[in-house]
Structures are given as C-alpha cells and as structure tokens.
C-alpha cells in the first residue's frame, strides 16, 4: 500500500492547493519516489464537462477521455505523470454510482446512508487503481467548513485511521492575512480552520500557510501551539513570481522534508536540477514576443489555463517571455478596423471554444493572420474556423458553416455520427446527452512526411487529446487543398481531418486536438515551441 497524503484547504479558496499538491508531487519525485495525484471535488456535477469555463475554469482532458478539474493539469505539468479517469471524482459521480448500485439491488435491502455507503464509495475510489506508487497525494476540493465537503472529510478521516499514521498524513493549506494597521500576520483564521478540521476528527500533521511575508518565529510557535502541530511543520507558503518557482520555494521551506520526517524516510537532498533550470529560464528571458489569443472566455483566464502554460513553455524553449494579449473575438465583429487589434501581435492563436457567438470574429482574425502572414495556430474550434475561413474566402463556398450553429446550407463542419478508435467503433446522435459524449481523450493522428506538422513533431504519427463534438468534413478536402489549405494530418482511417496547414505562409497550422494539454515546462510541446519560434522570427522582421 502506498503512503497517502491528504491535502485540504482552509480559510479561503484559491490558495493554490492544486499547485501545492503538484509541487509536492514533483519534490517527492525528485527524491526518487513514484507518485500519483488525485482530486476529490465536492460539487454535484458528475464531472466538470458540462460546466462553463468562465465559472469553473478549463476542463482538463486525460488520455483515457475523462473530463476533469484543471488541477489535474497542474499535476501533469509538474510531475509528467499522465492522469487517468481514476484520478478525479466528484460528489455527483459518487452519488450516481451509489444510486445505480442501489437500483441494481447491490445493497441487499440496506438503508443507503452517507455513512457508510457514500463514504465507503469515496474510500474505494481513493485506494482504487494503484500499482506500485510510493505516494498518493489526494487533494480535497473546496474549503474546510463547506457543507459539500463533509462526506469527503469523513472518508479521509476513516482512511487515516485504517491506514495508520505510517501510511497517511494530513496536510492543511491555510492563509495568514496581513493586517496593515497592526503590521502583523494574523494566525486566528488558521486556528479556526484547524479547529474546524479537528471537529470532524482530523488533526493536520503539516500546515502550509500561504503568506505574503515570512512567518516570524513567534507566530510560527503560536500557530504550532494552538493547532497542535510542531513549529517546524508550520511551513512558510510565500507567494511566488512564477508557478514554476513554487517547487524550489516549498523545498527551501521544508515541505518535502516534513513529509519525509512524518513517514520516517531518509532526509537526503533531492535532485532539483530540472526545477533550477526552469526557474532560471523563467527569470532570465532574452527577449519577448506578443501573442494575441482571440477567444471567447477571456473574462476568466483560468478557462485557458493549459493554453497559457503551453505558450509559456514554448517561450522557455525559445528563451523569450511570451506576453499574451487576450482578445474577445466579438471585438473583431464590431471594430471599425479589426486589423488594428492585431497591430502588435507577433502571432495569433485561436483556441478551442463552443457556440456561435464570437465565431465570425474568430474567422475575421484568421483572415487577417493569413493575409498579413502573421504566424497562426488554431486549436480545435480554432481549426474548424480556419477551415470555414478558407472555404468562404478562398474556395468559393461563402455559405460554408458548422452544424454547431444550427442548420447550414453547406455543413463543412458537422456532427460525426460514427468513427473508429483503434478497432472499436464509437457512435453518437443528435439526441445524445451533452455530458461525456464528445470525442474525448487520446486518438492517433498520421502526418504527411513533407508537412510542417511532421517537421515540428519530428515524427509521422502522434497521439493527442481531443474534446469536441463536431468534425471537419473530409469530403471537401480537394476543394480546400486547391486553395492552399493542406490536410497534413488525418486519423489513421483517413476519415477525420486532424491537422491543416498552409505552405504559402511562414507558419499557419491548425489542429483538431488540444496540444496544450500535454505540454510540460521540462518538455515543451513542439507545436507551441514552433509557434513561439515563428513569433520570434516575425518580431525581428517587423
Ligand atoms: N465546439 C467545437 C466542437 O464541439 C469545438 C470544441 C473545442 O474547441 N473544444 O466540435
């Protein structure tokens, strides 16, 4: 059985619990341990797939096709361990499983209750699908004290008991607010939050206190005393300039050391060369580029989390800082001279998206990028719009549209009702539910060998993650290729366009999948590295 670290949060939300978990995962890896990270989310949606990105942030997709919380993206980016369906669960999923079992009669006439039936289902989830991991880091979403998280807290309390102290550890992330008039960091909210945890039977072993300043020794002693934690286990969680400095900072503050101490493991120095290199690269760019991201969910930047990180990684690979200019695509529809919106852009990216609103603006931005030879990367919806742009403006099909927007005379982008995944056929229909019914997860793509795509990937085939309902109709390939839009990557059966590109342009490529989901700071995604490189080249020209 691996060791379990349960990570809870208190006082307020948005304390960076996900990043703390991801950073701890990377620190334990640097000590040679095999880690797995999981997240338990207390909301009632079965998964975040149907939630608006402007409410909940990006929906992260795993290779095995789970639509998950964006924290799983942090976990992957910091540890390189690919998350699975079995790494994220919500209250909604737990309840729907319990209720399905009840309907099947699995409970043999018992009265179904939160304790033990729901808590047992949570515990089963936490310990399921593990092999030879040394550590499982299990983050509980929400804030201690929320009604929703109670069954999860009860489940991890029980697990802590069952596993024993040598196999479980409770890490609580809190906030020490700074009160200017008193010139002091205040410990009271942390004390209350720990009390709240204790009232459900959990005594935290380690406190990670988010703070704008170093915690003075006497405050640390006070927190330790009131919260029943050794002062050394009260960790300074200072704000970082970049998320990629967090592993080093938390290491310096002793987070991984305290975990090792708790489990009686060797306290040797971990090898953090990778994080030092990344940290230095973030601090010392040799230049900068401006990338315009023309999207729809620009009001909450968390809705493009992986995208922003992937662009940053592309910047690291090219030794430049990437300035992202988030532009609401509707501005392209109303602006008198939309060209001005891209005046400073060294490159243009049209990301994934849903629905008609703003789509014409995206098409307009793509026209400008194509005509003005500005490097362009289209992702998912961005590829669908790039294909519509070429069809309407170059291939003489002004009526080309997507069935996502309703009935259209010329459905260049439409709902695929059947496609293959390996040897299996997957089917969908117009009457399907919205949740969990898109083309989801990793699919193969085969590339033409003289393509920009193959050159960037340095390979003729790749597996990338998908999350979309509609597909570009392959039957229009000849017309589009005749006007310069090459279908350079296809599904292995040749039916689903995966990559399109132009050869009469310095860098114009659009993909049906989401490359940003697989980019890591220590392994930047080739499409993003190539895209930022093209932006650098352009910035030197103009
Ligand atoms: N709305 C489009 C579709 O469902 C694209 C989705 C996306 O960009 N993720 O096909």
Task: Give the end of a domain, one of 243, 278, 313.
Answer: 278
Tell whether the model's pLDDT for residue 440 goes beyond 80: yes
- Residue percentage of the chain with pLDDT more than 70: 96
Q: Is the pLDDT of residue 23 over 70?
A: yes
Higher pLDDT: 53 or 88? It is 88
Which of 309, 326, 303, 304 has its CA nearest to residue 57?
A: 303
Q: Which domain holds residue 499?
A: 287-415+471-541
Instruction: Answer whether residue 446 is part of any domain.
Output: no
pLDDT, mean over the chain: 94
Question: Cα(393) to centroid of ligand 1, in Å?
Answer: 22
- Whether 421 has a pLDDT exceeding 80, the answer reads no
pLDDT of 299 higher than 80 = no
CATH number at residue 503: 3.40.50.880
Nearest CA residue ID for atom 3, ligand 1: 468
Residues 330 and 257 in one domain: no
300 shares its domain with 260:
no
Pocket test for ligand 1, best of 470, 472, 497 (most atoms within 8 A of CB): 470
pLDDT band at 296; cut points 50, 70, 90? confident
- 226, 258, 278 - which closes a domain: 278
pLDDT at 428: 66
Q: Is the CB of residue 296 below 6 angstroms from any atom belonging to ligand 1?
A: no
* 267 shares its domain with 304: no
Neighbours of 438 (CB within 10 A): 18
Are 253 and 316 contained in the same domain? no
Residue 148 lies in a domain: yes
| Residue 207 maps to a domain | yes
Give me the number of domains the chain comprises: 2
pLDDT exceeds 90 at position 244: yes
Ligand 1 near 469 CB (within 6 A): yes
Residue nearest to atom 7 of ligand 1 (CA): 352
For the segment 490-512, what is each residue's pLDDT rounded down to a tens digit? 999 999 999 999 999 999 999 99
| Per-residue confidence band for 99, with pLDDT thresholds at 50, 70 and 90 | very high
- Rounded CA-CA distance 95/1 in Å is 26
Q: Is residue 522 part of a domain?
A: yes
Q: Are residues 251 and 344 in the same domain?
A: no
Q: Given pLDDT bands bounded at 50, 70 and 90, which one contains residue 71?
A: very high
Band of pLDDT at residue 57, cut at 50, 70 and 90: confident
Q: 226 with 314, same domain?
A: no
351 CA: nearest ligand 1 atom: 8
CB distance 518 to ligand 1 below 6 Å:
no
In a domain, 451, yes or no: no
CA distances from 288 to 6, 352, 373 (A): 40, 25, 19
Q: Which of 49, 307, 467 to mutate to test the pocket of ligand 1 (most atoms within 8 A of CB)?
A: 467
Residue located via tokens 């306290």: 267
Q: Which atom of ligand 1 is nearest to the CA of 352?
A: 8
> Where do the DSSP E strands lie in 159-239?
168-175, 178-179, 184-185, 206-211, 234-238
- Closest atom of ligand 1 to 353 CA is 8
Q: Is 405 in the pocket of ligand 1 (CB under 6 A)?
A: no
| Res 541: pLDDT | 81
Same domain, 172 and 111: yes
Angle among Cα 412, 413, 418 to the nearest 5 degrees reads 115
Pocket probe for ligand 1: among 307, 467, 468, the residue whose CB has the most ligand atoms within 8 Å is 468
Determine the atom of ligand 1 nearest the C-alpha atom of 470: 10
Q: Would you state the pLDDT for residue 330?
A: 95
- Cα separation, 354 vs 482, whole angstroms: 29
Is residue 435 in a domain?
no
- According to the model, what pLDDT value does residue 452 have? 97
Together in a domain, 103 and 251: yes
pLDDT of residue 528 exceeding 90? yes
What is the mean pLDDT of the segment spanning 433-456? 90
Nearest CA to ligand 1 atom 8: 352
Q: Are 267 and 329 members of one domain?
A: no
| 302 pLDDT higher than 80 | yes
Q: Average pLDDT in the 45-62 region? A: 86
What pLDDT, on the 0 to 100 scale, is given for residue 419? 60
**Does residue 309 carry a pLDDT above 80?**
yes
CB of 304 shorter than 6 A to ligand 1: no
**Shared-domain flag, residues 141 and 229:** yes
pLDDT band at 61 (very low <50, low <70, confident <90, very high): very high
Domain boundary among 278, 313, 336: 278
* pLDDT for 416 beyond 80: no
CATH no. for residue 269?
A: 3.40.50.300
Q: Answer yes or no: do 476 and 350 share one domain.
A: yes
Residue 204: pLDDT band (50, 70, 90) is: very high
Is there a domain that residue 433 lies in? Answer: no
Q: What pTM, to 2 d.p., does this model score?
A: 0.94
Catalytic amino acids?
380, 514, 516
pLDDT of residue 300: 74
State the distance from the centre of ligand 1 to the C-alpha of 424, rounded, in angstroms: 22
pLDDT tens figures, 321-365: 999 999 999 999 999 999 999 999 999 999 999 999 999 999 999
pLDDT of the residue at 301:
76
**pLDDT computed for residue 422 by the predictor:** 67
- Probe target for ligand 1 pocket from 469, 472, 498, with the most ligand atoms within 8 Å of CB: 469
Of 368, 362, 400, 399, the residue nearest 382 (C-alpha)? 362
Residue 458 domain-assigned (yes or no): no
Q: Which residues, in sequence order, are CB contacts of 442 under 8 Å at separation 6+? A: 63, 64, 65, 463, 464, 465, 466
Domain identity same for 147 and 23: yes
Q: Which residue's structure tokens are 């060791």?
A: 3
pLDDT at position 65 is 94
Question: Would you say the CB of residue 381 lies under 6 angstroms from ligand 1?
Answer: yes
């Amino acid at each position: 059985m691996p060791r379990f670290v349960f990570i809870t949060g208190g006082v307020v939300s948005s304390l960076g619990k996900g990043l703390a978990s991801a950073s701890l995962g990377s620190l334990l890896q640097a000590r040679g341990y095999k880690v797995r990270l999981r997240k338990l989310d207390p909301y009632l949606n079965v998964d975040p797939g149907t939630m608006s990105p402007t409410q909940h942030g990006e929906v992260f997709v795993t290779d095995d096709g789970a639509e998950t919380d964006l924290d799983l993206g942090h976990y992957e980016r910091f540890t390189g361990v690919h998350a699975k369906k079995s790494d994220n669960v919500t209250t909604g999923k737990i309840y729907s499983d319990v209720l399905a079992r009840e309907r099947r009669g699995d409970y043999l006439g018992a009265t179904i209750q939160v304790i033990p039936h729901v808590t047992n289902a949570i515990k089963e989830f936490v310990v399921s699908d593990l092999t030879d991991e040394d550590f499982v880091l299990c983050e509980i979403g929400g804030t201690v004290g929320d009604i929703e998280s109670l069954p999860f807290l009860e489940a991890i309390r029980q697990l802590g008991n069952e596993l024993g102290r040598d196999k479980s550890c409770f890490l609580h992330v809190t906030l020490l607010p700074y009160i200017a008039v008193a010139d002091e960091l205040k410990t009271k909210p942390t004390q209350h939050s720990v009390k709240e945890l204790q009232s459900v039977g959990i005594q935290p072993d380690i406190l990670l206190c988010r703070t704008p300043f170093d915690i003075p020794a006497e405050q640390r002693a006070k927190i330790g005393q009131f919260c029943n934690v050794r002062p050394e286990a009260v960790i300074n969680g200072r704000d970082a300039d970049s998320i990629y400095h967090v592993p080093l900072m938390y290491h310096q503050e002793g987070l991984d050391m305290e975990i090792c101490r708790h489990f009686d493991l060797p306290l040797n120095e971990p090898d953090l060369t990778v994080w030092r290199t990344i940290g230095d690269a973030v601090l010392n760019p040799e230049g900068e580029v401006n990338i315009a991201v023309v999207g729809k969910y620009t009001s909450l930047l968390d809705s493009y989390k992986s995208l922003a990180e992937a662009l940053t990684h592309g910047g690291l690979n090219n030794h430049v800082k990437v300035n992202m200019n988030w532009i609401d695509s509707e501005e392209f529809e109303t602006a008198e001279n939309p060209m001005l919106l891209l005046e400073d852009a060294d490159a243009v990216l049209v990301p994934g998206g849903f629905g008609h609103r703003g789509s014409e603006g995206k098409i307009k931005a793509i026209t400008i990028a194509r005509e003005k030879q500005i490097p362009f990367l289209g992702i998912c919806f961005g590829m669908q719009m790039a294909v519509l742009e070429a069809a309407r403006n170059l291939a003489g099909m002004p009526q080309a549209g997507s069935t996502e927007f309703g009935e259209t005379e010329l459905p260049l982008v439409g709902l695929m009702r059947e496609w293959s995944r390996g040897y299996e056929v997957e089917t969908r229909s117009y009457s399907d539910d919205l949740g969990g019914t898109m083309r989801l997860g990793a699919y193969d793509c085969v590339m033409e060998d003289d393509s920009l795509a193959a050159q960037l990937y340095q390979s003729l085939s790749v597996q990338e993650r998908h999350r979309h309902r509609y597909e570009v109709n392959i039957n229009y390939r000849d017309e589009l290729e005749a006007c310069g839009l090459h279908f350079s990557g296809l599904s292995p059966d040749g039916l689903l366009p995966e990559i399109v590109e132009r050869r009469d342009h310095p860098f114009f490529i659009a993909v049906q999948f989401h490359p940003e989901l697989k980019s890591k700071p220590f392994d930047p995604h080739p499409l993003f590295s190539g895209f930022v490189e093209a932006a650098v080249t352009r910035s030197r020209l103009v």
